[in-house]
Amino acid sequence: MTQDDRTRLVAAAREAMTRSHSPYSRFRVGAALLGADGRVHTGTNVENASYGLSICAERTAVFKAVSEGCRDFVAAAVVTDTDTPTPPCGACRQVLQEFAPGLVIHLAGRGDDIETFRLAELLPRPFDSFTPGEAP
Ligand code: THU
């Protein structure tokens, strides 16, 4: 993960944020995931009049990437239209954990400040003891 990768990833998340569909919360979020193959997958939050059907930017990016055959992620960026960076919600942390337990996550708001965390710091003691295919 170079400085260039970080800049590129935050810029991609910032651009994705401009496509947010958030007329209900007016809270715009953009996410970008850097795959081990160098591809970048972006996502934004997409809300619905039936509020519970809304989806976060991070999960949009993960589901898009997995659908495109990428499930090995090196880093992520999450950008919010706020003064200070905003960390991902618990549900998105758990979904990221499924594919990228070692993920590095860069957070940015409107300004230039970038805060960087490991997913393990944001989601200590994750639910990861179930292996697909195991009998319940
Ligand atoms: N949101 C995200 O996109 N990511 C998060 O991690 C937290 C919240 C979205 C969902 C909703 O559209 C809006 O932000 C307000 O909760």
What spacing in Å lies between the alpha carbon of 73 and ligand 1's midpoint? 21
Task: Identify the structural domains of the chain with CATH numbers, from first to last.
Answer: 3-122 (3.40.140.10)
DSSP designation for 130: -
pLDDT at 128 over 70: yes
Q: Which two tokens stand for residue 61?
A: 């990016």
pLDDT at 135: 60
Rounded to an integer, the average pLDDT of 70-93 is: 97
In this predicted model, what pLDDT tens digit does every residue of 42-59 receive, in sequence order?
999 999 999 999 999 999
Angle, CA of 81, 29 and 3, to the nearest 5°: 85
pLDDT at 136 over 80: no
Nearest CA to ligand 1 atom 1: 56
What spacing in Å lies between the alpha carbon of 22 and ligand 1's midpoint? 9
In this predicted model, what pLDDT tens digit does every residue of 13-22 receive, in sequence order?
999 999 999 9
Instruction: Give this prediction's pTM.
Output: 0.95
Integer Cα distance of 95 and 48 in angstroms: 21
pLDDT at 93: 98
